[in-house]
């Protein structure tokens, strides 16, 4: 299937959807099944080190946790701290990625 060079691209500024219909025929050329689907096309490329979608520069939003724990130097490793972190990330609906790191604590056996 060819859409051609001038096929319209989909994004939030131009939410164009193409329609595809596929049919299955038996040996007598009778249609036995048909399905129709709508889909959007995007062009994703890197130009001069910049990621673009449909010719527009892509900006990714993220969260960085630099493990700043002034009292102990270590992240809190409690169930409540994990729940608080999960809630923070879930509430950031526009977040694309999360980067966290911390200094591991000494094993309890030492």
Task: Quick: pLDDT tens for 78-109.
Answer: 788 778 777 776 776 555 666 665 555 555 55
pTM value is 0.50
Q: Where are the domains of the chain?
A: 1-57, 60-103
26 near 32, Cβ under 8 Å?
yes
Q: Is the pLDDT of residue 110 over 50?
A: no
Residues 13 and 11: their CA atoms lie apart, in Å, by: 5
Helix (H, G, I), strand (E, B) or coil at 87: helix
In DSSP terms, which residues pair with 24 in a beta bridge? 33
Q: Tokens at residue 74, please?
A: 């270590």
Q: How distant is the alpha carbon of residue 22 from its chain centre?
A: 28
Query: What is the number of other CB atoms lying within 10 angstroms of the CB of residue 8?
Result: 13
């Amino acid at each position: 299937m060819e859409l051609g060079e001038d096929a319209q691209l989909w994004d939030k500024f131009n939410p164009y959807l193409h329609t595809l219909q596929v049919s299955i025929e038996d040996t007598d050329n009778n249609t036995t099944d048909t399905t129709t689907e709508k889909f959007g096309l995007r062009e994703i490329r890197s130009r001069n080190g910049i990621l673009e979608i449909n010719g527009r520069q892509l900006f990714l939003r993220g969260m960085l946790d630099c493990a700043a724990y002034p009292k102990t130097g270590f992240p809190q490793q409690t169930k409540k701290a994990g729940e608080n972190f999960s809630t923070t990330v879930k509430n950031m609906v526009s977040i694309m990625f999360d980067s966290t790191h911390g200094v591991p604590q000494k094993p309890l056996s030492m």
